[in-house]
Structure 1
């Protein structure tokens, strides 16, 4: 009786079945810092956990010196290895030119595709309004880091340094893990 139970339990292993494991993104934190408070301030910037599986990021920055006709974004991707170390890409792009010609910078397009459907940062300069990212879910990030360009498991940080007229104005950091 015991030997037949062992054979039944061992049978699925011996049949050559392969289990498919899916990686999942989980948001850990978001930090928004206004470097120049006379230029912009974050009205809100938070990570909302609706339940164990559904989290989203929302943020709104109020701009005080409109219109913005010259914007630069530095995007750095970091992996946690005894502190956050540069991983994969670090790219600086003219934000106004990028929106007009997204094919000119495939690295920036990769990052932009994560949040473009959740934001009002989807037109070229000038910007005459506050900038909003609303309810960015893990689904969008998960698609980019598992399907488009698969990443290894680990803890990551996406840092964006926002400049206008050559002056650093704000820094945003998105922390997530891939398991």
Structure 2
């Protein structure tokens, strides 16, 4: 990971930026495991723990509705908008926290609380990266 941060611009506007370097070019076999945990006497599994073959999913995003919902949150602010092979770094640039909050409270109403979103990225069935986000919905 080159960088992964949340930048506060003012009291109401914050954004997330992530850049993950791909060292081997033309990656054609990618899987992603995505899970959400809620803090209740420690972090406990909450709603989702899914594994998606990313190359297959990006060919037909409607094949997995849960993954499609979360992909649509990222799609407009990232370069994850094409199928394999990936021959460039993965970038999520200036994804507004307010937009994420709207999607997770109005579109798919999550209850208030503290959450952990974990993603594990696999290339050729070998775990290559872990990205975890801690957040609060209030």
Taking structure 1 as the reference length, the TM-score comes to 0.74
Which residue of structure 1 lines up, in the alignment, with residue 33 of structure 2? Answer: 74
Q: Separation in 1 of the partners of 2:94 and 2:133?
A: 14
Taking structure 2 as the reference length, the TM-score comes to 0.95
Q: Report the Cα offset of residue 128 of structure 1.
A: 0.7
Q: Report the Cα offset of residue 140 of structure 1.
A: 2.3
The CA deviation string for residues 26-61 of structure 1, in whole angstroms up to 9 with x for no partner, is xxxxxxxxxxxxxxxx11111111122111111111
Q: What root-mean-square deviation, in Å, do the aligned CA atoms of Structure 1 and Structure 2 show?
A: 1.0
**Contact persistence 2:13–2:98 (CA under 8 A):** no
Correspondence 1:130 to 2:98: no
Which residue of structure 2 lines up, in the alignment, with residue 65 of structure 1? Answer: 24
Q: 5+ residue gaps in structure 1?
A: 1-41
Matches within 5 A, 1:5-154: 42-154=1-113
Q: Separation in 1 of the partners of 2:121 and 2:47?
A: 20
**Contact persistence 1:163–1:170 (CA under 8 A):** yes
Q: 5+ residue gaps in structure 2?
A: none
Q: Aligned with 2:67: secondary structure?
A: helix
Q: Separation in 2 of the partners of 1:73 and 1:124?
A: 14
| Among candidates 99, 118, 125, match of residue 159 of structure 1 | 118
Q: Separation in 2 of the partners of 1:175 and 1:114?
A: 17
Q: Which runs of 4+ in 1 moved over 3 A?
A: none
Q: Separation in 2 of the partners of 1:86 and 1:135?
A: 28
Equivalent residue pairs, number: 138
